[in-house]
A and B are shown apart, each in its own frame.
Chain A
Amino acid sequence: MNVGGAIRAIISFLIFVVLHYTLRPLLGWRAPMDFLILALLLASVRVRPATAAVIGFVLGLISDSLAPDALGAGAIAMTVVGFGASYLKAVFFADNLVLNAFFFFLGKWVFDILYFVGEQRVHGIELLQQLLLWSPLSAAVTAAVGVLLLFLMRPLLEPTPA
């Protein structure tokens, strides 16, 4: 990735982070989209797994700092998701919107599973309901929004031809 591509990727990353703290609370849906996961996944496929793990760790700490009771849970989940996304990029990141959507869906769902299990705030039926109902819904919304943003930000995200 050249310098221009890196700058565009950083700008896209920042846009997703800002959207996470502006559009998401503004909409306030029960099954919200997760722009931080989208930012992490889009960054992870462009960097080494170790870098993706660090990015995930930092993003996780950022999200956890706004919910201090779960400090660390988000960091664990995002580290794993980032590393996994970077490790599996060759598998998932073909130039196919459906595969990208599935990638976003899976990333968000795995994150939620790791997060809620690591957070240990909800238990039993409530945890199952969260992981089997609200998390898939949230992952689906995240995937849909991610695909939409990929489509809209294609000029910014496409690699520069050599």
Chain B
Amino acid sequence: MQRALRSNNRFDLIILSSCVVLAFAARALPNTMRDPMATGMRRTFLAPLVMLQERAERGRQSLLSADAKQSYLDSLSLSSANAGSLESENDRLRKLIGLGARIRYGFIPAEALHGRGVRDETTVILSAGSRAGVSRLSPVVAPEGLVGVVDQVDPTMSHAMLWTHPDFRVSAMSPDGTAFGIAQAHLTSDIGGYLIELRGVPFRATLKPGAMIISSGWGGVWPRGIPIGTVLQEIKTTEGWARTYLLRPAVNPADAYSVMILRRDRLAKGFEGVWESATQVDQAAQRIVVSGDSAAKAAALAEAAARRAVLDSVARSNGGAALGANPADTSAAARAARAAAAARPTPRPAPVDTTNRVRRDTTPRDTIRRDSVRTDTVPMRPEAHR
């Protein structure tokens, strides 16, 4: 029994010694042999364990970096939000530079500082004052159009009344001069947002939705040609003698951060071509619409005239009265006309000049242009009668 135990102990010690010797041998291996051996084990029977460890390490890294990743995502979201505002600001500034290049001189660039008070929708502080050449009633514009007018001037800053102010008025017109009116803020807007009313438009002058409205230059404050807005719709008012239109403003006051103040001495030189591109596009669209209407009307009138001419010729050749002449009419003029027709020899049917007739008929007698002359509003001078 003791011999067997001693034999077992000897066997255990031999195995232990063998393992320790092998371990020391592995420890003593040079790197050139140690690395291939370790790599071989990792790539063969230890591969599943290595894979498990890698996944666990990756999971730990994911857990540890979760907060950092969240912070990074938050920062990225913030940056992207800022990038959007920077992009829009860049766009605004680029437009402003373009406007400055078109105005060339006589303007003062300024930053519009919006207030946070009750009246922040109607007034704004501008970062340029009298030292920069700003004076009272200087127009404030943006690349898109009209913004407001300076009402108070300090040496280093000024206070401007936006078009949303209840006291703000500007004389306005359509670019082709067919309609005039006074533009002011639409204070009770059911549609919502900032809108403009164009009041006092002559009743016979109609504006289609989408038509551009610009400043007319009357009154001496605003130069001619600054976009005010586009027509949305006509609104009903108690004034029966004039129309009132609702306009979508060219400039949203909440978006006006970089503006230009026009110097008073620059106004007299005019602003032809500065905002022309926008109005030209609008005018072109209007012309297309009007020409389309005229062409349809001209075709209808030409057809009716030709038909009437043929019928008249047929009636005369048959000895009857021309179409439109009523035999029952016993008035003196009618009788005289019938007698003259009877005494006159029957003429050969002359060729009908439909071209001239069509042209005459299609002359837009009731076009807006004639109404827009507004002769009834211009006082006639006494010497004109003489």
A interface residues with partner B (beta carbon < 8 Å): 17-18, 21-28, 48-51, 53-54, 56-57, 60-62, 64-66, 68-69, 71-73, 75-76, 79-80, 83, 87, 118
The segment from B37-45, B229-237, B338-346 found at the interface with A is B37-45
Contact with A along B1-29 (1 / 0, CB 8 A): 00000001001101110011011111111
Q: Mark B48-66, 1 if CB is under 8 A from A, else 0.
A: 0110110111011001000
A60 B15 Cβ-Cβ under 8 A? no
Distance in angstroms between the alpha carbons of A53 and B11 in the assembled complex: 11
Indicate whether B34 reaches chain A with its CB closer than 8 angstroms: yes
Known interface pairs A66-B50, A80-B20; A49-B27 also in contact (CB < 8 Å): no
Q: A21-B52, A71-B38 are in contact. Are A57 and B23 (CB under 8 A)?
A: yes
8 Å CB contact of A25 from B22, B27, B60? B60
Which of chain A's residues have a CB closer than 8 A to the CB of B35?
68
Q: Give the complex CA separation of A80 and B12 in angstroms.
A: 12
A-B contacts, CB under 8 A, total? 105
Q: Are A22 and B20 in contact (CB under 8 A)?
A: no
Given known pairs A56-B19, A61-B41, A64-B26, the reply for A26 and B59 (CB within 8 Å) is yes
B311 located at the interface, meaning its Cβ lies under 8 Å from any Cβ of chain A in the complex: no
Beta-carbon contact of A57 and B12 below 8 Å:
no
- Bound CA–CA A24/B49 (angstroms): 12
Question: A-contacting residues of B (Cβ < 8 Å)?
Answer: 8, 11-12, 14-16, 19-20, 22-29, 34-35, 37-39, 41-42, 46, 49-50, 52-53, 55-57, 59-60, 63
Q: CB distance A79 to B16 under 8 Å?
A: yes
B19 touches A72 (CB 8 A): no
CA distance A18 to B49 in the complex (A): 7
A57 cross-chain contacts in B, Cβ below 8 A = 19, 22-23
A27 to B57, CA, bound (A): 9
Q: How far is the CA of A48 from the CA of B11 in the complex (A)?
A: 10
Q: Which of A22, A23, A48, A56 has the most CB of B within 10 A?
A: A22
| Selected contact of B29 from candidates A51, A71, A76, A83, CB within 8 Å | A71
**Chain A residues within an 8 Å CB radius of B41:** 61-62, 65
CB-CB < 8 A to A83: which residues of B?
A: 12, 16, 19
Complex CA–CA separation, A53 to B17 (angstroms): 9
- Give A40 to B12 CA distance when docked, in angstroms: 17
**Partner of A50 from B12, B22, B56 at Cβ < 8 Å:** B12
B25–A62 contact, CB under 8 A? no
B8–A48 CB distance below 8 A: yes
Bound CA span A18–B56, Å: 11
Contact A22/B23 with A50-B11, A68-B38 known, Cβ cut-off 8 Å: no
A72 in contact with B53 given A50-B11, A53-B16, A54-B15 (CB within 8 Å): no
Report the nearest A residue to B41, measured CB to CB. Answer: A65
Please report the C-alpha to C-alpha distance between residue A58 and residue B39 in the assembled complex, in whole angstroms: 16
CA distance A18 to B50 in the complex (A): 10
- B52 x A72 contact (CB < 8 A): no
CB contact between A75 and one of B15, B23, B52 (< 8 Å): that residue = B23
Nearest A residue to B52 via CB reads A21
Q: Beyond A25-B60, A72-B28, is A66–B16 a contact (Cβ under 8 Å)?
A: no
A27 to chain B: closest residue by CB: B60
Task: From known contacts A23-B56, A26-B59, A71-B34, infer whether A65 and B23 are also in contact, taking CB-CB under 8 Å.
Answer: no
Residue of B23, B27, B52 with most chain A CB atoms under a 10 A cut-off: B23
Q: How many Å lie between the Cα of A28 and that of B63 in the bound state?
A: 11
Q: CB < 8 Å: which of A26, A50, A65, A87 contacts B42? A: A65
Contact check, B53 vs A65: say whether CB atoms are below 8 A apart.
no
A46 to B23, CA, bound (A): 23
Contacts of B50 in A (CB 8 A): 21, 66
Ranked nearest first, the 3 interchain pairs of A and B with the lowest CB-CB distance are A72-B27, A72-B26, A50-B15
30 interchain pairs, CB-CB under 8 A: A17-B49, A23-B56, A24-B56, A25-B53, A25-B56, A26-B57, A27-B60, A49-B16, A50-B12, A50-B15, A53-B12, A53-B15, A54-B15, A57-B19, A57-B22, A62-B49, A65-B37, A65-B41, A66-B38, A66-B46, A66-B50, A68-B35, A68-B37, A68-B38, A69-B34, A71-B29, A71-B34, A75-B22, A83-B16, A118-B27
Within the complex, the shortest CB–CB distance from A79 to chain B, in Å, comes to: 4
The CA of A73 and the CA of B22, in the complex, are separated in Å by: 11
Chain A residues near B27: list those with CB within 8 A: 71-73, 75-76, 118
* Additional 9 contacts, C-beta under 8 A, given A26-B56, A50-B14: A22-B55, A22-B56, A48-B8, A53-B15, A61-B26, A68-B34, A68-B38, A72-B28, A73-B27
A116 to B: closest C-beta gap in Å? 13
Residues of B contacting A118 with CB < 8 Å? 27
Smallest beta-carbon distance B8→chain A, Å: 7
CA distance A80 to B24 in the complex (A): 12
| Chain A residues with CB below 8 A from B23, complex form | 57, 60-61, 72, 75-76, 79
